[in-house]
Amino acid sequence: MYNKIKSTAAFLKDKISAQPETAIILGTGLGRLVEHITGAQAVDYGEIPDFPVSTVEGHCGRLIFGQLNGAKVVAMQGRFHHYEGYDMQQVTFPVRVFKELGVKRLFVSNASGGLNPDFEIGDLMIISDHINLMPNPLIGPNDQRLGVRFPDMSKPYDHDFMELAESIGRERGIVLKRGVYVGTTGPTFETPAEYRFFRIIGGDAVGMSTVPEVIVARHGGLPTFGISIITDLGFEGKIQEVSHADVQIEGAKAEAKMTTLISEMLARL
């Protein structure tokens, strides 16, 4: 895998005019943040050696290089999921490539179901921790060039980033929650019993992404910030039928707040 990572990174370096410092992975319904990237250079996933191709509606399938509020970024407009049939090494391959490109930090976003009864649809939740219910992407032989065999996960999400986000939220009037994200394989949405179980074990939100990418980022030494948009609710009395289209619609509604928050964070780092 190491040679593939280097080869893919070399291909992208030849395509771009500036090295990114921050990588941003955009979840379902959140792809329009790229409209705020200036000097944008787009590379379709299908052009990139050894890159998977996104198959999910709402995930365009492009890397966008450029500047967001003065910060040099690369944004994934569409991510990969285990439920699409990709193994965890494929799902997390872009994070490895970003590290090889010289990226210094990773921002991840997603649309998720709210488990905390204090949450409402449209809330933004800073991810303070996670519970992994997917196959761990580090299972298998470990390449020391990529990271240690047993990486520490006592702080999977950077505390300084969380505090910066909350400070900006107070200044801009953006209400932010903190919570624990439960990562599941999908693609089914959760049953009522599963919602109850995830809440009992400590979850505040649940989704089908993010956790593998964060594990690999921490394996590679990249500090990480994670944020969820609560697009549906999964607690007693509020559970309703939900579709992927519903998730996309609610994600798009809250996208402006998330864009403001991330742009301000990048400007101050």
Q: pLDDT per residue over 52-62, tens digit each?
A: 877 655 446 89
pLDDT value for 125: 96
CB proximity list for 176: less than 8 A, separation 6 or greater: 124, 125, 126, 165, 166, 169, 261
Kindly report the pTM of this predicted structure.
0.93
Q: Which of 3-17, 86-100, 109-123, 232-246 has the lowest mean pLDDT?
A: 232-246
Confidence band for 18, pLDDT divided at 50, 70 and 90: confident
pLDDT value for 246: 65
Q: How far is CA 48 from CA 4, 44, 94, in A?
A: 11, 7, 11
Over range 196-201, report the average pLDDT.
97
Q: Which of 93-97, 175-179, 231-235 has the lowest mean pLDDT?
A: 231-235
Q: Tell me which amino acid residue 126 is.
A: I
Q: How far is CA 209 from CA 83, 102, 228, in A?
A: 10, 24, 11
CATH of domain 2-268: 3.40.50.1580
Averaged confidence pLDDT in the chain = 91
Q: Which of 22-36, 68-82, 231-245 has the lowest mean pLDDT?
A: 231-245
Q: Where are the domains of the chain?
A: 2-268
CA distance 248 to 242: 11
CA dihedral (188, 189, 195, 199) in degrees, to 10, reads 100
pLDDT value for 61: 86
pLDDT value for 247: 65
105-114 vs 22-26, strand pairing mode: parallel
Measured from the Cβ of residue 52, the count of other Cβ atoms closer than 10 Å reads 20
Tell which wins on pLDDT, 269 or 139.
Answer: 139
| Per-residue tokens: 8 | 């893919």
CA 243-214-18 angle, 5° bins: 100
pLDDT value for 32: 76
Q: Tens digit of pLDDT for each residue in 216-267?
A: 999 999 999 999 999 888 877 677 676 667 666 666 777 888 889 999 999 9
Of 66, 106, 100, 61, residue with least CA distance to 79: 61
Confidence band for 35, pLDDT divided at 50, 70 and 90: confident
